[in-house]
Amino acid sequence: MEQDQINVLWRLFGFIGQKWGTAADCQMLQQQFQQALQWQMQRDPAYLGYYRQTIAEYQALLQQYHTPTFALAALINQNPYSSSNPSPVANYVLLEFMRWNIAFGGFKTFGYMNYNGWMGGGSFLNKPPPYRALNIQAQTQPVGGDHGQGA
């Protein structure tokens, strides 16, 4: 990919952070971003096509809206993620960039903390709980309820 194409994808990545309000906490540097793109394309050559399709859609929207911010917003709005939407822009590029945003520190915006070893199986007993933990109330009944034998 050419540097100007990578710059378009970097702009899109940054826009996601601005839209979500996570830009200040996301610590993915442009060099890391570029390396991640290269790894994705090496791992699965189809990503080159996904990235180029995203760039082409953005450039068409830029011609229509004449403003990068409006074109980026339209690109995201026109490509919602869903299991029934076959768009590579939504299912590979936008979803991937959203995941990278959160993984590289964006989760802090929502008040969560990164816990070393979480991917290895963090403990829900920690105080405060790991950032993926749910606020689950203590059970007063045995697991599965009383099976109709209660009071």
- Give me the residue label for tokens 């936008």: 94
CA distance 58 to 107: 27
For residue 70, give both structure tokens.
């409006």
pLDDT for position 96: 86
C-alpha span between 20 and 97 (Å, rounded)? 12
Q: Are 108 and 48 in contact (CB under 8 A)?
A: no
Closest CA to 96 of 3, 27, 19, 9: 9
pLDDT at 9 over 90: yes
Lowest average pLDDT, out of 40-44, 108-112, 132-136, goes to 132-136
Give residue-wise pLDDT tens across range 10-36.
999 889 888 877 777 677 778 888 888
Structure confidence by residue, pLDDT tens digits, 92-105: 888 888 888 877 77
What percent of the chain shows pLDDT beyond 70? 68
The Cβ of residue 66 has, within 10 Å, a number of other Cβ atoms equal to: 9
- Examine the pLDDT at 81 and tell me if it is beyond 50: yes
Place of tokens 């099976």: 147
> Residue 61 has what pLDDT?
95
Distance CA 111, CA 135 (A): 14
Which residue has tokens 């009383």? 146
The tokens of 142 are what? Answer: 């045995």
